Homo-oligomer: A and B are copies of this chain.
Amino acid sequence: MPRSNPNDFGDVPQGCSIPLNFARSSHERNYSIQIGRGILRTIGSEIASRNISRVVIIADEAVALSHSLTCEKSFLDAGVETSVIRVPSGEQSKSIQQAEQLWIALASLNVDRRTAIIAVGGGVVGDLAGFVAATFSRGLTVWQVPTTLVAQVDSAVGGKTGINLPCGKNLVGAFWQPSGVIVDIHALDTLPSREYGSGLAEVVKYGMILDPTFFSWLESHCNKIRLRDPDAVEHIVSTCCRLKVHVVEQDEREETGLRVILNYGHTFAHAIETASGYGVLLHGEAVSIGMVMAARLAERLGMIDADICSRQEFLLTSFDLPVTSAAFDPDILLDIMARDKKSVAGRLRFVLPECIGKVRLVDSIDHNIVKEVLTASSR
């Protein structure tokens, strides 16, 4: 069946491999995203065939006894020397202090340049371990093994790594492409509901920014998605990865302006996360609120009709996601957004929808209009 049929689960119902090719770079930097069910059990033999001397698994402690252990066993079965370092769960771990602990741990393990880092967990561990890999010995190989929905559909793909400063999210980081991404759909079976829902915010984002058919498909499959029907989940993950790969291949380092569309909702979201203190809201929850704010801003600017705002809000609400923020001071959010690394010379820039499936970057938006939208969006 063609993908335009909204009842279709895509043409790859049982695992697939999505290649990434960077046109402007050397062959060695291309890699694949492997998507499948139960594939963590074979990760050892998959990676052992590469030119590596050993692996260091950096794992979220929440998956230490589950997915991380599965990976560790698989590496040991494949005869690969394996060490495991656990990282506390939560956004607070994306800190300089945690990066320092990992650097020192890698030094004490006598890690060399043929050691591969295996990042097992959600976006926090992926960003943190990716940054530590990018900067230890001026760059170690890293494999991303996302075990949350938000990481599988978004953060593990594309090579962005980073940590937070107290004054801003992801202000310290590097573009560092992994050698591969291993996405095991089964890892989501044990994901807490709130985490799963948080990932769905990024899923909705991909529909909004790039794919109206996919957006409609999400609307018509709400229940299956909420119940984590495996075919529905695999369709979601593979579709989002394909959409993201298409963008990242053409604009790896946010230079041409294309990649910036992935930040739809994120300028608001980062400000909300910074203002509320990291870890109070899950990232996807902040993105949900941020997308609602962005759509309302677009409506206020006359770019879209109210029904697009409503469809987005209804879909997000169907996934139990928040669509309004706590009562933040709009001036504080504005101040944080002016410092966002995507801002230029303090001017406010937002990715805003033109319709479902298409967004564009809008520059130099009047602070007062943004403030109106922020005020209206707070509870």
Copies in the complex: 2
A103 B344 Cβ-Cβ under 8 A: no
The yes or no answer to A369 lying at the interface (CB within 8 A) is: no
The yes or no answer to A346 lying at the interface (CB within 8 A) is: yes
Q: Which of B108, B134, B346 contacts A167 (CB 8 A)?
A: B108
The yes or no answer to A65 lying at the interface (CB within 8 A) is: no
Tell me, rounded to whole Å, the shortest Cβ–Cβ distance linking A257 to chain B. 12
CB-contacts of A154-171 with B (<8 A): 160-162, 165-168, 170-171
A96 B100 Cβ-Cβ under 8 A: yes
Chain B: CB-nearest residue to A113: B341
A135 B174 Cβ-Cβ under 8 A: yes
B160 A138 Cβ-Cβ under 8 A: yes
The yes or no answer to A253 lying at the interface (CB within 8 A) is: yes
B138 A175 Cβ-Cβ under 8 A: yes
Q: What sequence of 0s and 1s flags, for each residue 119-139 of chain A, a beta carbon within 8 Å of any chain B beta carbon?
A: 000000000000100111111
A110 B338 Cβ-Cβ under 8 A: yes
The yes or no answer to A343 lying at the interface (CB within 8 A) is: yes
Q: A113-B344, A137-B341 are in contact. Are A103 and B174 (CB under 8 A)?
A: no
Chain B: CB-nearest residue to A160: B138
Tell me, rounded to whole Å, the shortest Cβ–Cβ distance linking A248 to chain B. 13
Q: Which of B108, B139, B341 contacts A253 (CB 8 A)?
A: B139
Q: What sequence of 0s and 1s flags, for each residue 252-285 of chain A, a beta carbon within 8 Å of any chain B beta carbon?
A: 0100000000000000000000000000000000
> What band does the interface of chain A fall in when counting residues whose beta carbon is under 8 Å from B?
35 or more
A341 B112 Cβ-Cβ under 8 A: yes
The yes or no answer to A53 lying at the interface (CB within 8 A) is: yes
Q: What sequence of 0s and 1s flags, for each residue 165-190 of chain A, a beta carbon within 8 Å of any chain B beta carbon?
A: 11110111111000000000000000
The yes or no answer to A114 lying at the interface (CB within 8 A) is: yes
Chain B: CB-nearest residue to A134: B174
The yes or no answer to A345 lying at the interface (CB within 8 A) is: yes
Q: Which residues of B contact A136 (CB under 8 A)?
A: 171-172
The yes or no answer to A73 lying at the interface (CB within 8 A) is: no
B112 A173 Cβ-Cβ under 8 A: no
Q: Which residues of B contact A338 (CB under 8 A)?
A: 110
Chain B: CB-nearest residue to A138: B173
12 extra interface residue pairs, beta carbon distance < 8 Å, beyond A24-B26, A103-B172: A96-B103, A103-B171, A104-B167, A107-B165, A110-B346, A113-B344, A135-B135, A138-B174, A138-B175, A138-B341, A139-B174, A139-B175
